[in-house]
Structure 1
Amino acid sequence: MAGPCVLLASVVAFGATAFAQEATYNPQQGAPTRYQPPHEGFLNARFWTDTRYRYEYVDQGNKPKNARASTIRNKTGIESGFFHGFRAGVEGEFVLELGPNDFNNTINGRTQYPVVADVESAEVDQAYLESYNIPGVVLLGGRYLENLDNLRYVGSVAWRQNDQTFDGAKATITALPGVELLYAYIGNVNRIFSDRSPAGNINSNVHLIHAESDELSIGKLTAYTYLTDLYDLDPLSNASFGGFLKGKQGLTGGIDYHYRFEYAHQISYGDAPVDYDADYVRVEQGLSKAGFTGTLVYELLGSDNGVAAFQTPLATGHVFNGFADVFLVIPPTGLQDFYAQAKYKVPTNIGGPFSYFGGLLLLAQYHEFRSAVQNLDYGSEFDFYSYLPLRDGFYAQAKYANYQADDYFVDTQKVIFGLGYQY
């Protein structure tokens, strides 16, 4: 893909030159200055660890047995300090099953149970080298984690025990006034199924081009081009071109109005076996006040006459279209999701007998799902989520999903409880 690479090289060269020219003269000192890459000492490192226990119960109408998955995950990493503008990081990830494994983890052959895609594994989650040596440009190469925008196209799937990460490189460019540019290349996708699974890695040729404006009076404007060629998953290869406006405006009485208006067009790409084109639309509007937020959302993942639908195979799909994960892959007839969400976060500084609930997050959603073509009523879903930060880095979370099928899939219920620690 010479085109995106040439574009990146041109932008980096132009941005670096512009930034360097601005940095060669300091009007207060009246003398030329030079950009100095950060240097604080290689051993001035940052360390982190994240441990999470999870119990997940799944009742799925077309399976004779219910799934009960009890797993624990630890991620531990370290990132060096800067050494003449360079720094390096590495993170390991470990997943273990605790107790009976009454679930289908996708490779254990227990197909009488619903899928809970948490596989025992020990992997290098991230390993990268980062450079700040070009003014206004940050370069990174290796294995890295990427959560882009609202995760609709690219995400780490952090809800599952095994992260999705990428092998490749990226450049973040802030040298141009009023805009931040990102170019990322992905040559391999390390999926949530782990290296133990034949589906755990996807050889790929992915180019992500993303431009975001500074905050404007109407919000932030973003434009993107995502070229996704998945050699081992050809039916999901595609090219998407789009953009969105996202912002928040203050109203009277301490009420904020927040919004997101997005449109994209997708076509088949690479070795996709079917030629198609489809549209994506997201209209999101809500009001918030004093910790309460209510949001109405319409999301369309269009279809080309029922032949193929708009797909986002590298997304964190769990946060879209219901927690039951029925629509991780969009049906050929497409998807319309009409949903309402209510969210409340307790103030962290609440006192008195309720102080232990400071920071508690409560969220509820109701979805109505329909096809984009052929007028199918897929079903509906109610979701609930809560997150409670405890003391000294501990937290608890719970999630419930209830999908009621009509013209698509089967009734599905999920109950999930987690307890974790982050440092």
Structure 2
Amino acid sequence: MKRSTIFLGILALFAFFVVSSKQVMAQTEIDDFYKAIQGGKFSASVRVSYEYSDLKDPAGNSPASGLNVRTRLNYRTGQFMGTSAFIQLQNLTNIEEDFNDLKGGAQKSRDVIADPEGSRVHQAYLDFAFIPQTHIKLGRQEIILDDHRLIGNIGWRQNAQSFDGVTITNESIQDVILFAGYANRQNTILLTQNDLDGFWMFHATYTGIKGHKLSAFCYLLNSENDTRDLATYGLRAVGKVMMVKYAIDYAYQTDWQDNDIDVSAQMFNGYLGVDLNKMFSVGAGVSYIEGQDDSNSADDRPFDTLFSTAHKFNGWADVFIGTNGGSLVNGLLDYYADVTIKYMGAKCKLVYHYFDSTDDNVGGFDDAYGDEFDVLVVKTLYKNVKGLIKYAHYNELNSSASRAPGLAGGYDEDVFWTRLMVSF
């Protein structure tokens, strides 16, 4: 299905099922069907967000300021013959829109806040559970694997990310979770869509060791214009021993299918933390994302973090989100440490990052990019009401970084958010 989508097909199938039900089912089955439709569950959420961003770039763009409201309406039907349906409608309304939304509808002379206004069906899928210990989702859906490092929903942004496709999760083998998925369209945070010739996902998790989880994965991306055809293979281990927690993952990436580029790159992430008590924890980690291997080859590419929730990693100022798409030519070596404090129902997290390059293939650059200090305070204010304040300060350490083409991390930046989240 090159230009058509699974999403449209599932809506047509669902409509046909409703119209033809009286002709193909006995009366009791018809009653059960309509009970499943009418006896479902509604839910909703409202997220009010204010964001301020000031990037000290040579273009002299004005700081960005945005206030918006995201509303989501959800409905999940009851089960009928082991099948249920879910739909999620979303609207984002910008109240204050003094920013560049990267879609052409806002002010290009200001800094970027990637929250374009609009409405869409964010998720709509059928959920099949008639096979024992197996769930099949067919339609538009969010796909989140592991810690979002390669595949996530980019849930921090107001418009998030979803895919049109089918996913299968099976738990019939003791202590093993098997996942397989296919998508032919990405629905982006900019309310645009990217058609894919095919994105195949295979993931296996073993949970048989108490307190530990081991995973192996293979992601095969066939892009429509053959400029991002990639095979990514990896392993991940997370767990906790007494007070000590850890997370380690490794991935290797190579070109695949009709790729017009040459890729042979690696990614490594490691984290070690200690929960000193119920209120206080500390940790430190390193993230290594390999850059371009051959400075003389225009076709050579760095490691591509695919469809990750990049904001979660490598600093909240989003200086290095170019790892999605593989555009961080000189790679990234991120050393970081964090402190988490929980007190009176509030959670405060402090993070420090030191960013270095891994390669010197562009502009002769082989030095540190910069460092960053991040702060997050989040608190449940009432049963279904949560508030947060978040701040990121990125400090450029080497001005030559800003002069090198294709190199991120060139300019100082301050970003501030405050949000109120209500669920019903």
TM-score for the superposition, normalised by structure 2: 0.82
User: 2:229 and 2:387 mapped to 1: Cα distance?
Assistant: 38
Residue 350 of structure 1 aligns with which residue?
A: none
2:101 to 90, 99, 105: 105
Question: In 2 relative to 1, CA 414–345 (structure 1 residues): closer, same or farther, beyond 3 Å?
Answer: same
1:395 maps onto 2:386 in alignment: yes
The answer to whether the aligner puts 1:373 opposite 2:370 as a matched pair is no
Q: 1:296 aligns with which of 279, 284, 306?
A: 284
On the 8 A contact 2:46/2:71 being kept in 1, the answer is yes
> 1:113-156 deviations in whole A, cap 9, x for unaligned?
11101011110011100111112221110001122110001111
Contact 1:191–1:202 (CA under 8 A) maintained in structure 2: no
CA distance in structure 2 between the aligned counterparts of 1:361 and 1:316, rounded to whole angstroms: 21
Hey, what's the Cα distance between the residues in 1 that align with 2:257 and 2:356?
29
The amino acid that maps onto 1:146 is I
CA contact under 8 A between 1:189 and 1:204: conserved in structure 2? no
Counterpart code for 2:290: G
- 2:221 counterpart residue number: 228
Measure how far apart 1:40 and its partner are: 8.8
User: 1:155 maps to what in 2?
Assistant: 152
**Closer, same or farther in 2 for the Cα pair 1:393/1:215, shift >3 Å?**
same
Deviation for aligned residue 1:370: 0.8
Contact in 2 for aligned 1:231/1:271 (Cα 8 Å): no
SS in 2 for 1:329: helix
Alpha-carbon RMSD across the aligned residues, in angstroms, is: 1.9
Give the superposition deviation at 1:46: 2.3
TM-superposed deviation, 1:271: 4.4
Structure 2: give runs of 5+ residues left out of the alignment: 2-33, 295-299, 361-365, 402-408
Report the residue type matching 1:167 in the other structure. D
Does the aligned pair in 1 maintain the 2:99–2:106 contact within 8 Å? Answer: no
Deviation at 1:302, TM superposition (A): 1.1
Task: Note if 1:266 corresponds to 2:253.
Answer: yes
Residue 243 of structure 1, aligned match among 235, 242, 252:
235
In structure 2, how many angstroms separate the alpha carbons of the residues matched to 1:53 and 1:419? 5
Separation of aligned partners in 2, 1:264 and 1:64 = 38
Kept after mapping to 2: 8 A contact 1:313/1:329: no
2:416 maps to 415
Q: 1:46 aligns with which of 41, 48, 69?
A: 41
Provide the aligned length of Structure 1 versus Structure 2: 364
Counterpart amino acid of residue 173 in structure 2: L
Question: How far did residue 268 of structure 1 move?
Answer: 2.1
Separation in structure 1 between the aligned mates of residue 197 and residue 371 of structure 2, nearest angstrom? 35
Aligned letter for 2:65? R
Corresponding residue for residue 190 of structure 2: 193
Within the candidate set 52, 58, 61, 2:53 is matched to 58
| Unaligned segments of structure 1, at least 5 residues | 2-38, 251-255, 347-356
For residues 132 and 379 of structure 1, the distance between their equivalents in structure 2, rounded to whole angstroms, comes to: 49
Deviation by residue 1:23-71 (Cα, 9 ceiling, x = unmatched): xxxxxxxxxxxxxxxx994433222111011111111011430101111
Alignment of structure 1 residues 72-91 onto 2, 5 Å: 72-91=69-88
**3-state SS in 1 of match to 2:311:** helix
* Superposition map of 1:106-145 within 5 A: 106-107=102-103, 108=105, 110-145=107-142
Shift of 1:204: 4.3
Q: Paired residue for 1:354?
A: none
* Amino-acid identity (%): 28
Per the TM alignment, residue 176 of structure 1 is displaced from its structure 2 partner at its CA by 1.6
Q: 2:98–2:106: 8 Å Cα contact kept in structure 1?
A: no
- Corresponding residue to 1:213 among 206, 221, 233: 206
Aligned counterpart, 1:171: 168
Task: Give the 3-state SS of the residue equivalent to 1:390 in structure 2.
Answer: strand
1:341 aligns with 2:364: no
Q: Which amino acid aligns with 2:47?
A: R
Deviations 1:247-287 (A, max 9, x none): 1011xxxxx10011211101123444321211111111010
Please tell me the residue identity of whatever aligns with 2:169.
Answer: T
CA contact (8 A) 2:234 2:250 kept: yes
* Deviation at residue 237 of structure 1 after TM alignment: 3.7
Structure 1 length normalisation: TM-score? 0.82
The answer on 1:308 being equivalent to 2:301 is: yes
What is the SS of the residue equivalent to 1:210?
A: strand
CA shift, 1:217, in A, is: 4.6
- 1:242–1:263 contact (8 Å) kept in structure 2: yes
1:132 & 1:265 partners in 2: Cα distance?
A: 34
| Residue 282 of structure 1, aligned match among 226, 247, 269 | 269
Q: Equivalents in 2 of 1:116, 1:83: separation in Å?
A: 43
Alignment partners' CA distance in 1, 2:218 and 2:46 = 35
C-alpha separation in 2, matches of 1:173 and 1:95: 35
1:109 CA displacement: 5.4
Letter in 2 for 1:98: I
Give 1:392 deviation, angstroms.
3.6
The amino acid that maps onto 1:228 is L
